[in-house]
Structures are given as C-alpha cells and as structure tokens.
Amino acid sequence: MVWFLLREKAMNIDDHLLQQVKHIDHHVNRFPDTDTGNTQLLTTIYDYMEPFKQIMDSTSAEQMSYLIHNYTGFYRLAKFIEQMAEGLSSGTIQVPKDH
C-alpha cells in the first residue's frame, strides 16, 4: 500500500484531481457492470462529467494511464463515455430532434 501512495506522488498528480478520481471511481463502482447497472450509471453521471473533463485536461498521458490502471471505476467511466461518443458519431445512438 505504501508503494501505491509513493507512486501517486511520483506521478505528481494534483491532490484535488486525485480526490476527484477517487470520487468518480467510488460512484461508478456502486453500479454493476451490467445493462441495468449501466442504465443506472447513465442517469447519474451528469454531475461527474465536468470533473472528468478537468482530469482529462489536466493530466499527462502517463498520468491518465496510471489512473485508469489503478481506478477501475474511473476507467469504466472513461470507456463508457468513449462508447457513447462513438455511438453518437456513428449514428448508432440517436439524439431526439428536440435536443
């Protein structure tokens, strides 16, 4: 456990950003990785989108790699957002015309 904390310090990840990562990780891990869990997650992620973007904008590729390898919920949210973006881009996910 000590090596893990030392590694985070060596990565020079801002404490505030790291707390946001842990908060996102905890929230996402509350929902099972199933269709039902993903639907529940989708309805609750709005408040986590801005912190997620701040983390993406404020970390290096090496730091991001470290975070997604050590925080499974954070990784799951990253993949979830990526899949939604791909679906919207390809047209597989339809956006209602009134939006």
Crossing angle, helix 61-70 and helix 72-90, to 10 degrees? Answer: 110
pLDDT in tens, 17-71: 999 999 999 999 999 999 999 999 999 999 999 999 999 999 999 899 999 999 9
The count of structural domains within the chain is: 1
* Residue type (1 letter), 22: K
For residues 78-92, give the mean pLDDT.
Answer: 90
**What residue numbers bound the domain in which 72 lies?**
2-87
pLDDT at 9 over 60: no
Q: Are 7 and 46 spatial neighbours (Cβ–Cβ below 8 Å)?
A: no
User: How far does the chain reach from its first CA to its final CA, in angstroms?
Assistant: 47
Please give the pLDDT value at position 13.
Answer: 87
- Any domain includes 49: yes
- Any domain includes 95: no
- Any domain includes 92: no
In 3D, which of 11, 9, 13 has the Cα closest to residue 21? 13
In 3D, which of 35, 77, 83 has the Cα closest to residue 52? 77
- Any domain includes 99: no
Backbone angles phi, psi at 46, to 5 degrees: -50, -50
pLDDT at 86 over 60: yes
- Any domain includes 26: yes
d(C-alpha 98, C-alpha 89), whole Å: 18
Please give the pLDDT value at position 93.
Answer: 84
pLDDT at 98 over 60: yes
Stated pTM of the model: 0.81
- Any domain includes 25: yes
Please give the pLDDT value at position 78.
Answer: 95
